[in-house]
Amino acid sequence: MTKVSFPIVGMHCASCARLIEKKLNKTPGVATAAVNYGSEQATVNYDSSVSTLGDLGSIVSSLGYKAVIATESGKTSDDIKEEIKKKELLNLKRKVTGSAVLTILILLGSLNHMLGSLIHALPSWLSYLELPPAALLILTIPVLFWAGREFYLATWSGLKNRAASMDTLIAIGTTAAFGYSAALTLFPAQMETLGFPMTMYYDVAAVVVTLILLGRFFEAKAKSHTNDAIKKLLHLQAKTARVLRLRSSRPELAEGPPSTMGEMIEVDIPINEVVVGDHIRVRPGEKIPVDGTITEGTSSIDESMVTGESIPVDKKSGDRVIGSTINKTGSFVFRATSVGSQTMLARIVKMVAEAQSSRAPIQRLADTVSSYFVPVVLMLAVATFVGWYVFGGFAAAFTNMIAVLIIACPCAMGLATPTAIMVGTGRGAGMGVLIKDAESLEIANKIKAAVFDKTGTLTQGKPVVTDVVPPTILPIAAALEKGSEHSLADAILTKAQGMSLANVTNFKAIPGQGISGTIARKQYVFGKPKKSYPQLEEQGKTVMELSTGNTTLGYIAVADTLKPEAKEMVSTLTKNHIHVWMITGDNERTAAAIAKQAGIENILAGVLPDQKAEKIQELKVHSSSFIAKQNEKSSSVNHEPSTVNRIVAFIGDGINDAPALAAADVGIAIGTGTDVAIESAGITLLNKDLRSVVSAIKLSRATLRVIKQNLFWAFGYNIILIPVAMGILYPMFGVLLNPALAAFAMAASSISVVTNSLRLKRVKIN
Amino acid sequence: MEKFIVTIFGIGLIAGIYWFFFGKKDKITEVHGSIMITVEGGYKPKTIKVAKDKVTTLIFLRKDTNSCLEDLIIPDFKIKKFLPMHTPVTITLSPTKPGKFNFHCGMNMFHGTIEVV
C-alpha cells in the first residue's frame, strides 16, 4: 500500500471535497481517501499495482478540479514555478499588447481634448480620429478591468485585510481618473451644473495601466534571470549513472573493488535510484553522477563547475570525486558515498538558496520604510488634493493627486537589496565562492584585517623533502620511516618512491627523538639532529639526522612549501588596505621564514589550536601594535583596546579551525566541503586557490556597491519625485508632473533596480 | 465655504487612512504544532506565537493572484518559498532563540510576524 498526499486546486466549498473523496474511494486499488477542504489537500492510501498516481490525478480532473501531483512527471517545485512563471509572462504579454492597442486608440481619440488649440500644429487628418466620450469610455473599460484586473483584485483583498500595496495606489489612481470621466460622460449636464470642469481623464487611466503593465513585463523578464545561478547548478546534474551489478542479481553492497565481487554487468539507471555503496563506472568525457571514492583506475577530472578550480585535478584510487564534475581522460570505477540531497552539488544549491533568502543588515531601513510607505502616500495624495483645491482649482488638484498616487514606487525599495544579493551569491557559487548569508556578504566588504592560518592555507599542507645530504642516505631513512606514523614520514617515502627499500628489524620509536631500526645487522637512528643547522632552520625547514653508533651519516630537510599564489594574494590584499596576518602553532623562526616568503609582516606564532579564537577576538578590539608586542611577550607596553571594533576575517582550511572561523567577523573556510567548516564559516571557498579570498572580498564589495546604488536610486526617486508630483516646483518653476509621465517613471524605476543588480553577473571580479 | 468643506473632509480622510492602516490591533494566534496561514491580501493570521525549541509547521495557502504574494520570505530562518495558487506549502521551523521575526512577500509590502517565546 502506498500513501500519498497531493494538493487539489479549484474547490469552492466543503461539498466539492466530499465529492472528490467519494469518487477517489470508489477508484480500484484505493483503500482510503480523505480530502480536506481547509488545507485543499487529498491523502490517499492505494495499491500502486492497481492504480497509478496519474490515475488518481485523472479522477480528480474528470470532476473538474486539478490535482497538483509534483512527482507525476518527475517535476520539481522549481519546474512547476518555472512553468507558472512562463504562463504568467505569456498572459502579461497578451494583456500588454491588448491594452497598448486600445490605449493608442484612446490617446488618438483624445488628442483634441488633450492638446486644445495645439492640435492645429499637427496634420489635419489626426483631428478626424477624435472619439466621442462614450466611445472612449467603452475603450477604457477593457484596459482597466481586463488588462488591469489584477490591480483591483489585489487592492480589494488587501483592503479586506487592512493592508495596502503598490496595486492599491495604482487602483485608486486609475479608478479616480476613470470614475470622474465616466461621471462626466454619463451625466454631463448634472456634473456641469455642480460646477465640475468638463475634462476627461480616460487617456490618463489607460496610459497608466498600460505603462505599468509594460514595466511589470520587463521586470518579470529581468527578475527571471536573477536566479540563473541556481538553475545553472541544477543543470549540471547528470541524469543517469552506469552502475555495476552482479550478472545474476543486485550485488551485496561491498567495500572492496568490484573486481573482487564476481562477474559484473553495467546498467544505466536514473540518478535518483543510485544508493550509497553502488559501484559506478565513468568513461572519459562523462559526468560523474554522484559523490564517491575511486576504487579502480585513475583520471584527470575537471571540477571547475563546482570548485571554480580551472586546472583539471589528477585522481587515483582512494581519492574523492565530486558529483556533476567531468571526467576528462581515464576510465574509472568509484563507490558512491553521498547521493541525493547529500551530494556536494545539492548542498551547494541549498546553501545558495538559503543565502538568497537571508536578510542583509543594510536592508533594515528599506524594510521599515516599506511597511509605512503606501498608507503615507495615500495621505500625501489627499493632502495634495486639498492643497491644490484650496490654492489652485479642481482640475489641478485632481491631476496632481493622481500623479502622486502613480509616481510612488515602493517596489524599487523592496527589490533593491534582495535582487543584488541573489545575483551576487549566484555569481559567487559560479566561482566556487559559497556565501552562507547576506550578512557575511555585507560584512566581507568592510574587512580591515585578514588572519591566515599557516598550515594547509598559506602552505600546501604537505611537507616535502627539500634537501638530502648526501643523497645516498635516502633509501636507508625511507626504509626506517616505512614503519613510522610520523607526519614527515610521508614526505620521505614520497621522495624515495621507486627505490628498493631494505627490510628493517628491531624498529623502535623513541619519543621526542625519532626512530631506530636495524638494517643488514647495522643499527640506525633517524630523527632529531645532534647539532643545529641555522641556515636551514631560518628557511623554516625541519632537519632530521641519520646516524649509526656515534657517526652522523647525513641529514634530510623537510619543509611545508608556500602556495605559489600566496605572495600575489598578500600584495593584492595590502593594496586594498587590508592588514594581512599569519597565525600558526610553529615557533617564531619557522613562522617568520614562511611569512617572509609570502610578504606577510604580522605574525602570531606559537599559538595553540585552541587559542586561535582568542587571538582573533583580541585582534578585533586591539591595535595591531598591541598584538605584535603581546606576541613578543613585552607586556610592559600598555595599549588600551581601541574603541572601534575592526572587522577581522579568519581564513583557514576548516580542519580544527571551527572556533576561529566562528569567532571572526567573517570566517572564510578554504578548499573544503566539510559540514563543520561550512557551518562555522560565513564564506566557503571550494578550491584551494588563495586568490579566491580576494575574489570573495571583491564580490562582496561589488555587491554592496550595487545595493547602495539601488537604495540610493529607490529612496532618491521617491524622495524627489513624490514632492515634484505634489507640485512643490510649481510656485518657482511652474513645473507639474503629468500622471502619464509619472507612470513611465514608476515603471522605469523598478526595471532599473533589477537591471542594475543583473550587472553583477558581468562585473570584473578576478 | 466650499474650500473649507474640502479641507475638513481631506483632514478627516487622512485621519481615516491613518486609523484604517495603522490603528488595527493584530490578534496574536498561538500555534501548537501546526497552523494554516491564508495568503490573501496579506497573511491571515498575521502574527503568530510559537514555542522556542519546538517544531512548528506553517502551512501557507495562497488564494490571492497578486504576484507580490507569490514569494514568501522568512529572512531570519533563511527561507524563501514560491507559493503557487491554491497549493499548500509546508514550512517547518524549530526556532532556537526567542524574539520577533518578520516574514514578508517578495517585494516586502505585506508583512507578518512570528513571535518565539
Residue A594 lies in a domain: yes
Residue type, A176: A
Distance between CA atoms of residues A117 and A237, nearest Å: 67
Chain B residues lying within 8 Å of A220, measured CB to CB: 67
Best probe of the B interface among A11, A13, A40, A711, by most B CBs < 10 A, is A40
- A623 pLDDT above the threshold of 60: no
Q: Which of A164, A165, A358 sits opposite B78 (nearest CB)?
A: A358
Contact A157/B10, CB-based, under 8 Å? no
CATH number at A531 reads: 3.40.1110.10
Asked if A556 and A670 sit in the same domain, the reply is no
Is A158 in CB contact (< 8 Å) with chain B?
A: yes
Q: Which residue of A has its CA nearest to B2?
A: A390
Asked if A595 and A447 sit in the same domain, the reply is yes
Contact A280, A244 (CB under 8 A): yes
pLDDT, position A118: 62
Chain A residues lying within 8 Å of B64, measured CB to CB: 153-154, 157
Asked if A449 and A593 sit in the same domain, the reply is yes
pLDDT, position A641: 44
Instruction: Give the mean pLDDT of chain A.
Output: 83
- A166 pLDDT above the threshold of 70: yes
**Candidate from A312-326, A509-523, B6-20 with smallest mean pLDDT:** A509-523
pLDDT, position A104: 92
If you write DSSP's letter for every residue of A329-353 in order, what string do you get? S--EEEEEEE-GGGSHHHHHHHHHH
Q: Which residue has the cell 454619463?
A: A186
Residue B11 lies in a domain: no
Distance between CA atoms of residues A522 and A544, nearest Å: 19
Q: Which residue of A has its CA nearest to B80?
A: A357
Task: Please list, residue by residue across A45-56, b when 16 or more beta carbons sit within 10 angstroms of its beta carbon and e when fewer do.
Answer: ebeeeebebeeb
Please calculate the CA angle A718-A205-A388 and round it to the nearest 5 degrees: 60
Across residues A503-528, what is the average pLDDT? 86
Cell numbers found for residue A193: 451644473
Contact A295, A317 (CB under 8 A): yes
Asked if A485 and A542 sit in the same domain, the reply is yes
Picking from A508, A464, A500, the residue whose alpha carbon sits closest to that of residue A483 is A508
Asked if A223 and A248 sit in the same domain, the reply is no
Q: What is the share, in percent, of chain B residues with pLDDT greater than 90?
A: 32
CB atoms within 10 A of CB A645: 11
DSSP-derived 3-state class of residue A634? coil
Distance between CA atoms of residues A408 and A166, nearest Å: 8
Cα dihedral A129/A130/A131/A132 (nearest 10):
-150
Cis peptide before B45 (omega within 30 of 0): yes
Residue B73 lies in a domain: yes
Distance between CA atoms of residues A334 and A626, nearest Å: 52
Our CA-based measurement puts residue A414 at a distance from the nearest CA of chain B, in whole angstroms, of 5
DSSP-derived 3-state class of residue A29? coil
- Total of domains in chain B: 1
Asked if A60 and A177 sit in the same domain, the reply is no
pLDDT, position A582: 92
> Most confidently modeled of A25-39, A291-305, A347-361, A677-691?
A291-305
Tell me which H or E stretch contains A326. strand A326-327
- A634 pLDDT above the threshold of 50: no
**Candidate from A38-52, A101-115, B18-32, B87-101 with smallest mean pLDDT:** A38-52
Q: Which of B10, B40, B109 sits opposite A385 (nearest CB)?
A: B10
Picking from A760, A759, A753, A751, the residue whose alpha carbon sits closest to that of residue A714 is A753
Contact A389/B6, CB-based, under 8 Å? yes
Across residues A173-182, what is the average pLDDT? 92
Is A209 in CB contact (< 8 Å) with chain B?
A: no
Residue A22 lies in a domain: yes
pLDDT, position A698: 93
Best probe of the A interface among B61, B71, B87, B114, by most A CBs < 10 A, is B87
pLDDT, position A456: 81
Contact A155, B66 (CB under 8 A): no
Asked if A150 and A96 sit in the same domain, the reply is yes
Cell numbers found for residue A555: 641529514
Q: Which domain holds residue A248?
A: 240-289+291-338
Is A720 in CB contact (< 8 Å) with chain B?
A: no
Residue B13 lies in a domain: no
Q: What is the share, in percent, of chain A residues with pLDDT greater than 90?
A: 26
Chain A residues lying within 8 Å of B40, measured CB to CB: 157, 160-161
- A574 pLDDT above the threshold of 90: yes
CATH number at A25 reads: 3.30.70.100
Is B90 in CB contact (< 8 Å) with chain A?
A: no
Residue B21 lies in a domain: no
Q: pTM for the full model?
A: 0.75
**Positive or negative CA dihedral for A416, A422, A425, A428?**
negative
Main-chain phi, psi angles of A714, to 5 degrees: -65, -45
Q: Which of B3, B10, B88 sits opposite A383 (nearest CB)?
A: B10
Name the B residues in 11-30 with CB < 8 Å from any A CB.
Answer: 11, 13-14, 17-18, 20-22, 24
Residue A356 lies in a domain: no
If you write DSSP's letter for every residue of A451-508 in order, what string do you get? EEEIIIIIEEEEEEEEEEESGGGHHHHHHHHTT---TTHHHHHHHTTTS-----EEEE
**Positive or negative CA dihedral for A631, A637, A640, A645?**
negative
Residue A532 lies in a domain: yes
Contact A407, A737 (CB under 8 A): yes
Chain A residues lying within 8 Å of B76, measured CB to CB: 359
Our CA-based measurement puts residue B101 at a distance from the nearest CA of chain A, in whole angstroms, of 11
Residue A249 lies in a domain: yes
Distance between CA atoms of residues A760 and A227, nearest Å: 12
Cell numbers found for residue A101: 492597442
Asked if A113 and A60 sit in the same domain, the reply is no
Distance between CA atoms of residues A462 and A541, nearest Å: 13
Cell numbers found for residue A293: 571514492
Across residues B45-67, what is the average pLDDT? 89
CB atoms within 10 A of CB B15: 13
Main-chain phi, psi angles of A297, to 5 degrees: 90, 170
Contact B107/A80, CB-based, under 8 Å? no
The number of C-alpha atoms within 13 Å of A235 and in the hemisphere containing its C-beta is: 7
Across residues A633-644, what is the average pLDDT? 42
Across residues A369-393, what is the average pLDDT? 91
pLDDT, position A638: 39
Asked if A521 and A600 sit in the same domain, the reply is no
Across residues A81-96, what is the average pLDDT? 85
Q: List % helix, strand, coil for chain B (3-state, nearest 5).
A: 25, 40, 35
- A256 pLDDT above the threshold of 60: no
pLDDT, position A72: 44
Residue A602 lies in a domain: yes
Render pLDDT for A265-307 as a digit per residue (tens, 0 to 9).
888 888 888 899 999 999 988 899 999 999 998 888 988 877 7
Chain A residues lying within 8 Å of B20, measured CB to CB: 162, 375
Best probe of the B interface among A75, A150, A359, A750, by most B CBs < 10 A, is A359
pLDDT, position A637: 36
Residue A113 lies in a domain: yes
Residue B104 lies in a domain: yes
pLDDT, position A258: 56
A23, A38, A72: which is the final residue of a domain? A72
The radius of gyration of chain B's CA atoms, rounded to the nearest angstrom, is 18
Residue type, A72: E
pLDDT, position A642: 47
CB atoms within 10 A of CB A217: 19
Residue B1 lies in a domain: no
Q: Which domain holds residue B59?
A: 34-116
Chain B residues lying within 8 Å of A359, measured CB to CB: 75-76
Distance between CA atoms of residues B92 and B98, nearest Å: 17
Q: Give the residues across from A670 on adjacent strands.
A: A685
Asked if A196 and A333 sit in the same domain, the reply is no
Q: What is the share, in percent, of chain B residues with pLDDT greater than 70?
A: 100
A116 band by pLDDT with thresholds 50, 70 and 90: low
Contact B75/A357, CB-based, under 8 Å? yes
Main-chain phi, psi angles of A336, to 5 degrees: -65, 130
Chain A residues lying within 8 Å of B24, measured CB to CB: 162
- Total of domains in chain A: 5
Beta strands in A247-310 (DSSP E): 264-270, 279-282, 291-296, 299-302
Q: Which of A9, A88, A371 sits opposite B111 (nearest CB)?
A: A371
Residue A417 lies in a domain: no
Distance between CA atoms of residues A35 and A16, nearest Å: 9
Contact B50, B116 (CB under 8 A): yes
Residue B4 lies in a domain: no
Chain A residues lying within 8 Å of B27, measured CB to CB: none
How would you class A9 by CB atoms within 10 Å of its CB: exposed for 0-12, middle for 13-18, buried for 19 or more?
A: middle
Residue B17 lies in a domain: no
Asked if A217 and A91 sit in the same domain, the reply is yes
Q: Which residues of A are catalytic?
A: 453
Contact B86/A7, CB-based, under 8 Å? yes
Cell numbers found for residue A679: 557551518
pLDDT, position A70: 56
Asked if A273 and A323 sit in the same domain, the reply is yes
**Positive or negative CA dihedral for A47, A50, A54, A56?**
negative
CATH number at B112 reads: 2.60.40.420
The radius of gyration of chain A's CA atoms, rounded to the nearest angstrom, is 36
Our CA-based measurement puts residue B86 at a distance from the nearest CA of chain A, in whole angstroms, of 6
